[in-house]
Amino acid sequence: MSYANGKWTCRCDCGGIAKTSGCNLRQGRVKSCGCLNTETRKITCAKKFRTHGMRHTGAYSSWIGMRYRCEKSYHIQFKDYGGRGISVCERWQLFENFFADMGHRPENASIDRIDNDGDYTPENCRWANRKQQSRNTSKNVFYEFDGRKMILADWGEELGFKRSTLAIRLHHGWSIRRAFTTPV
């Protein structure tokens, strides 16, 4: 250490030089030439910007899409999600929690809410293929027959009819029983 013009020149443990007042030295405000501050900043940034390493996975892409549909009013689908009150649960605000609950997204699948009017929560979500997704939209019309409710596509599949055949019959005023039981 040396003293000149009211400032102390100090050599740091790392070999660097620091110039400071005696007051700063006595009060312990100076602990290094700045190298500790730089090192602390590197550690803090590494922790702050640490990632899960899954940015380019299907699960992450689904998580981002889900959040944008519910939270970003400029998203093209916001009116169908966030705009009608659908939200993402608090736990899933962190991708790591979403991934812990949902796991990897299977190939040809996307996130699906079991209750189409419910929020995105672990209890209400699943990975679903396109067929499952198409059968779980708010636009589907359910038909009750023999004590069961299904959409026309499912009734057609079960009864051996084309969905369009059932739709045309119902459009022309046939009863559900007649439309579903009359052979082609």
Instruction: Copy the structure tokens of residue 165.
Output: 């055949």
Q: At what angle do helices 152-159 and 163-171 cross, to 10 degrees?
A: 120
Report the alpha-carbon distance of residue 66 to residue 160 in Å, rounded.
36
The residues, any chain, with a CB within 8 Å of residue 91's CB and separated by 6 or more, are: 97, 98, 101, 121, 122
The string of pLDDT tens digits covering residues 30-44 is 888 887 776 666 655
Most confident residue range from 7-11, 20-24, 65-69: 65-69
pLDDT at residue 17, as a whole number:
86
Q: Residue 8: pLDDT above 70?
A: yes
Cβ-contact 54, 99 below 8 angstroms: yes
Q: Which ranges of 35-151 would DSSP assign to H, the alpha helix?
A: 35-48, 58-71, 95-102, 130-134
Q: What are the residue boundaries of the structural domains of the chain, listed by start?
A: 2-48, 58-134, 142-181
Query: Who has greater pLDDT, 47 or 94?
Result: 94
Mean pLDDT across 58-65: 96
What is the spatial distance between Cα 52 and Cα 139, in angstroms, rounded to a whole number? 37
| Least confident window among 24-38, 63-77, 99-113, 154-168 | 24-38
- Full-model pTM: 0.58
Cα 87 from chain centroid (whole Å)? 11
Residue 79: pLDDT band (50, 70, 90) is very high
